Structure 1
């Protein structure tokens, strides 16, 4: 019987900026359909690790496989070779990412923001891209905002557009890097509701967040990082209720 392989396989992932060693050997598997929430204090390496998965940051050592490839590279004759930027962009079609800041193009309408990558990078016909973009806007509750400018939307609405834009490439994996940290408190709930809906649909998600409630309700597994390593992980009903590591206990005590 063949063993099911993880969708994401990170092994001994290391990343430094000069003398600052941010990731010190991260190992993590994420299965297809799993929702993994990464918690940890500021500076623990959470966001850097997420950016390494998508090859927005280059590893100093180790490897990250997404499905059957290592983002940023191609295997030729037993050796990894760096891909040029255009091919990396095509390779990233497997991975959608939502950032802290919404990063919408201010000179494009909501609809134009969503269809830009499918048409420009992935060569999806405009009619097909537009049809799917409108479906996604309905999914995130913004059907009436297709022709709006990002500057005329609330922060919560902009982040929901950013989620729709990330989904427009039909990714296998969605990465969320503290997607509610730039929002006013009253707008956080509307974004988390969309994310819970995506989790319920079985989309594979890795979420860096400080929203303990989301981790408790939507995660299949919670990972706690500190000092550039994975310190503890497990089902939310276990690790959030009875954390074993003192650093995780101290971290969670701030939210009680």
Structure 2
């Protein structure tokens, strides 16, 4: 059995009076690819943002291996970490957003090397050499000096993936990485993600790409109303879901 890398225990999160996550329990094994499915508003993106503490928890706990994320224990209660400690922990998670989030005034290469140099204090020359390797690995060896405005949406998202990989993360988090792309550009991003999965990268992917989930995911987790409705092997859940709500959702997204 692969070692558990990421553990979520009784995770709750509300915005005002709206309870978005209502007690999520989830374990992710090393090298596992897990796809989160569910309707809009089910809590998928919020769940990702709690994992690297972009959203603080209202209740519960998240662990990367044995380390509590976002908090430390002090005199029997949890205290939120300071910015420096949070930055150290966030480096363990590579986050790929639906909107790319590239710095528009920086080249593709500069976008990739910014965090390793500033956060991890890597030697700039080493970081740039590795940044070129990472951009080549996502098919952008000839676009290292291009600015985001000079790149297609698919190319920008591949830069964002290279940027996430530059931090050598333990877990890659993808928040609907193809939802902002024109249909003809979706495939090039999914191809990169397939390649990452084949290397054994631990990945948690929010997606509506059912074909990708069927092909690549080890496990599918279906969320609705802030709770896990159903989870299991991808082929099992997508072909023969046990819950009526899961069947209803899959009928519509197919």
Q: Same fold (TM over 0.5)?
A: yes
Alignment of 1:99-114 (within 5 A): 99-114=97-112
Quote the Cα distance in structure 1 between the aligned partners of 2:110 and 2:61: 35
Q: Distance in 2 between matches of 1:4 and 1:205?
A: 14
Q: Distance in 2 between matches of 1:198 and 1:4?
A: 18
Aligned equivalent of 1:126: 124
Distance 1:204 1:240 in 2: 21
Deviation at 1:154, TM superposition (A): 0.2
Q: CA deviation at 1:83?
A: 1.4
Larger mean CA deviation between 135-144 and 79-88 belongs to 79-88
Any conservation in 1 of the 2:34–2:219 contact (CA below 8 Å)?
yes
CA distance in 2, matches of 1:255, 1:9: 29
Of 205, 208, 226, 1:207 maps to 205
2:192 alignment counterpart:
194
When normalised by structure 2's length, the TM-score is 0.97
Measured in 2, the distance between the counterparts of 1:190 and 1:134 equals 19
In the TM superposition, what are the counterparts of 1:152-163 in structure 2 within 5 Å? 152-163=150-161
Supply the distance in 1 between the matched residues of 2:12 and 2:82 (Cα, whole angstroms): 22
Aligned counterparts of 2:8 and 2:93: Cα–Cα separation in 1: 15
Q: Which residue of 2 aligns with 1:144?
A: 142
SS of equivalent residue, structure 1 residue 199: helix
Alpha-carbon displacement from aligned partner over 1:51-81 (angstroms, at most 9, x marks no partner): 0001000110011111222222234566533
Q: Do residues 21 (structure 1) and 9 (structure 2) align?
A: no
Distance (whole Å) between structure 2 residues aligned to residue 54 and residue 76 of structure 1: 21
User: How many Å separate the matches in 2 of 1:232 and 1:194?
Assistant: 28
In 2, Cα distance between the equivalents of 1:180 and 1:96?
16
Whether the 8 Å CA contact 2:61–2:69 is kept in 1: the answer is no
**Residue 248 of structure 1 pairs with residue 250 of structure 2:** no
Q: Residue 162 of structure 1: CA displacement? A: 0.2
2:94 to 89, 93, 96: 96
CA positional deviation for 1:237: 1.2
Mean Cα deviation higher: 126-135 or 64-73:
64-73
Cα distance in 2 for partners of 1:81, 1:59 equals 11
Q: TM-score scaled to structure 1, two decimals? A: 0.96
1:73-84 alignment runs, 5 A limit: 73-75=71-73, 79-84=77-82
- Residue by residue over 1:100-151, the C-alpha shift from the partner in whole angstroms, topping out at 9 and shown as x without a partner, is 1000000111111000000001101111111111110111000011111111
Checking the alignment, whether the CA contact within 8 Å between 2:208 and 2:253 is kept in structure 1 is no
The aligned residue for residue 62 of structure 2 is 64
> Which stretch of structure 1 is more off in the superposition, 65-74 or 189-198?
65-74
Q: Residue 224 of structure 1 aligns to a residue in which SS?
A: strand
Unpaired runs of at least 5, structure 2:
none
**In the alignment, what sits opposite 2:233?**
235
Write the distance in 2 (CA, Å) between the matches of 1:114 and 1:252.
36
Residue 92 (structure 1) shift? 1.1
Q: Distance in 2 between matches of 1:205 and 1:229?
A: 20
